[in-house]
Amino acid sequence: MTVGKKSHLSMRLMRTTWRLRRKFSALPAKCVALTIVSLVIICVTVVLYHMGVFTHFLEKDYYTEFSYPLQGNLQPLVKELILGNKPPIKPINVFNYSYLKLCHDKCSSNANLKLLFVVKSALHNFEQRQAIRQTWGNQLHLSHVEVRRIFLLGTGFDPEIQRKVDEEDRLHEDIVQADFHDDYRNNTLKTMSGFKWAVEHCPSASYVVFSDDDMYISTKNLLRFIRNPSGYPEKESQPLAVKDFEHRDRSLKEEPALVAEGLEEEQNVFGNRNEESKLYAGYVFHSPPQRHHSSKWYVSLKEYPYHLWPPYVTAGAYVVSRSALLDLHYGSFYTKYFQFDDIFLALVALKINIEPVHCSEFYFWKKNYSKLGYRDVIASHGYGDPDELRSVWNEQKSAGHA
C-alpha cells in the first residue's frame, strides 16, 4: 500500500469519527447509555448462544426421557438376524456400500483365531500402516496366539493415491476398502464397514480390536485383559518377563475348567450365550453432548436432545468379543445412523443391553512414555509418528510388555 493511499484512508477515518461524534453529541446522554447497554446485552446473548448455554436449558433428561429410533425391544429382531432368518420388522440402517477390496482369505485358513485387529485408517497414511504392520499389527508377533489385521479405508478422488493403495494391498493383502468417501465425518460408515466385514468374513475371531491408525497397542496386555477384564491389571502384577508370560499362557491352555469355558463361548455364539461372553470394553465415558457451536463435536438438539450421552467407549481403541460383535452389528440395523461412531455404538449397545466395560489402561490421550510406566498400558493414543511407535513398541517388546 502506498503512503498516499494510507493517508487518504486515515483522513476518511477521521472524517467519519468526527461525523459520528457530532451525531451522538446531539442525542441526550441517557439515550446513548441505553443504546450501549442494549448493545452489550445483545453481544453477550449472542456469545452465550454460540457457546450453547441456552441449549442446555432445552435439553431433555437422559435418565427419564430417553428414547432413540427404532423404539421397542430389539433383542428378538437381532436374534432372528443372527440365525439368518428374516425378521418381522425391516431394518432402518444397513451398510450397503460395496467393498472394492475384500481380503476374503484373511481369516479362512484358521478356525481358531484369537484376535483380529481392525484398524480405521485414512487413505494417505501409508507410513502409519507400515509401522503398525511391523509392530502390534504383526501377525507373527506371538508364536502361540493367532492374530490377524486389516486396515479399513474409504475412497478418495486422487487416482495416484488409489494406485498406491492397490499396490500396498497386492504386497500385504490387508486392505479392506469400501465405496464411500473417506472422511472423518464418515467414521460411522467406516466402523459399520468394519463390523460387517468382521461378522461376514472373519467368523473365527474370538475377539476383535477396533483401533485408529495413530495408536500404540500392547497385544500381550490386551490378552491379559481379555482373560480377566474386571481384574486388570492383576493385583500381584510383577513385571512379566516374556518367558513368564508364555508359561502362564500355556498353563491357561492346560487348565480344564478354562478350556471348557472357552469352548462354551465358541458353541454359544449362535445360541443362548451367557452374558459374560459379551465383552465391549475400553475407556468408558459418561459425559454431556457438546453444544458449543464451534466445537468439532457440536451436536444439535434435533439430532440428540438429551443432557447426557449413553455410556460410550472412546473410539481410539476398544475390544469386542465375537458375541458382542454380532449383537452390535445386527443391532445397528435397527438404530438410526449417528455421525460419531463411538456414540453410535453406545446407542446400539444401550438398545440391546450390552454394558460397556471400563478400563483405564486404554488411554484416549497420549500417556507420557516411560519404560516402566507402560508396563500395563493396553493402548495409548498419540502415536501418529511411525518412528516413535516403532521405538516405543520395540522397547516394550524387549521388556516383555508388548
Ligand X SMILES: *[C@@H]1O[C@H](CO)[C@@H](O)[C@H](O)[C@H]1NC(C)=O
Closest contact distance (angstroms) between CB of 90 and ligand X is: 10
Pick the binder of ligand X from 183, 234, 303, 355 (CB under 6 A). Answer: 183
Closest contact distance (angstroms) between CB of 339 and ligand X is: 9
What DSSP line would sit under 185-216, residue for residue? GGHHHHHHHHHHHHHHH-TTEEEEEEEETTEE
Q: Which of 259, 331, 319 is nearest to 117 (CA)?
A: 319
Which H or E run contains 40?
Answer: helix 29-50
Tell me how far CA of residue 311 lies from CA of 65, 152, 270, in angstroms: 16, 25, 26
| Interface stretch with ligand X, choices 9-17, 179-187, 206-214, 261-269 (CB under 6 A) | 179-187
94 makes contact with ligand X (CB under 6 A): yes
Pick the binder of ligand X from 8, 12, 185, 371 (CB under 6 A). Answer: 185
Pick the binder of ligand X from 55, 93, 211, 335 (CB under 6 A). Answer: 93
* Contact (CB, 8 A) for 148 and 234: no
For the beta sheet containing 362-363, the strands, ordered from the edge strand earlier in sequence to the opposite edge, are 215-217, 379-381, 362-363
Contacts of 376 (CB under 8 A, 6+ apart): 221, 232, 233, 237, 361, 401
Cα separation of 216 and 238, whole Å?
22
Q: How many residues does the chain have?
A: 402
Q: Is 142 left (phi over 0), alpha (psi -120 to 50) or beta?
A: beta
336 makes contact with ligand X (CB under 6 A): no
Q: Which amino acid is at 166?
A: D
| Interface stretch with ligand X, choices 48-56, 99-107, 183-191, 216-224 (CB under 6 A) | 183-191
Residue the block writes with cell 449413553: 310
Pick the binder of ligand X from 96, 98, 238, 272 (CB under 6 A). Answer: 96
Pairing between β-strand 205-212 and β-strand 317-321 as defined by DSSP bridges: antiparallel
Q: Which of 224, 323, 208 is nearest to 265 (CA)?
A: 323
The gap from C-alpha 297 to its chain's centroid, in whole angstroms, comes to: 13
65 makes contact with ligand X (CB under 6 A): no
180 makes contact with ligand X (CB under 6 A): yes
89 makes contact with ligand X (CB under 6 A): no
| Interface stretch with ligand X, choices 26-34, 175-183, 290-298, 320-328 (CB under 6 A) | 175-183
Closest contact distance (angstroms) between CB of 96 and ligand X is: 4
Q: Where are the alpha helices (DSSP H) in 286-356?
A: 322-332, 341-351
Closest contact distance (angstroms) between CB of 158 and ligand X is: 14
x/- site string to ligand X, residues 208 to 237, per CB under 6 A?
------------------------------
User: Which position's Cβ is nearest ligand X?
Assistant: 183
Pairing between β-strand 284-285 and β-strand 317-321 as defined by DSSP bridges: unpaired
Closest contact distance (angstroms) between CB of 180 and ligand X is: 4
- Closest to ligand X by CB, 181 vs 248, is 181
- Closest to ligand X by CB, 186 vs 277, is 186
181 makes contact with ligand X (CB under 6 A): yes
186 makes contact with ligand X (CB under 6 A): yes
- Closest to ligand X by CB, 265 vs 388, is 388
Closest contact distance (angstroms) between CB of 68 and ligand X is: 16
- Closest to ligand X by CB, 93 vs 121, is 93
- Closest to ligand X by CB, 37 vs 94, is 94
Closest contact distance (angstroms) between CB of 334 and ligand X is: 11
| Interface stretch with ligand X, choices 10-18, 182-190, 267-275, 308-316 (CB under 6 A) | 182-190
| Interface stretch with ligand X, choices 12-20, 27-35, 88-96, 204-212 (CB under 6 A) | 88-96
Cα separation of 30 and 250, whole Å?
87
Contacts of 354 (CB under 8 A, 6+ apart): 278, 280, 324, 327, 328
* Contact (CB, 8 A) for 114 and 374: no
x/- site string to ligand X, residues 361 to 400, per CB under 6 A?
-------x--------------------------------
Count of residues touching ligand X (by CB under 6 A): 9
What helix, strand, coil percent values describe the chain, rounded to 5?
Answer: 45, 15, 40
Q: Where do contacts with ligand X occur on this chain (CB under 6 A)? A: 93-94, 96, 180-181, 183, 185-186, 368
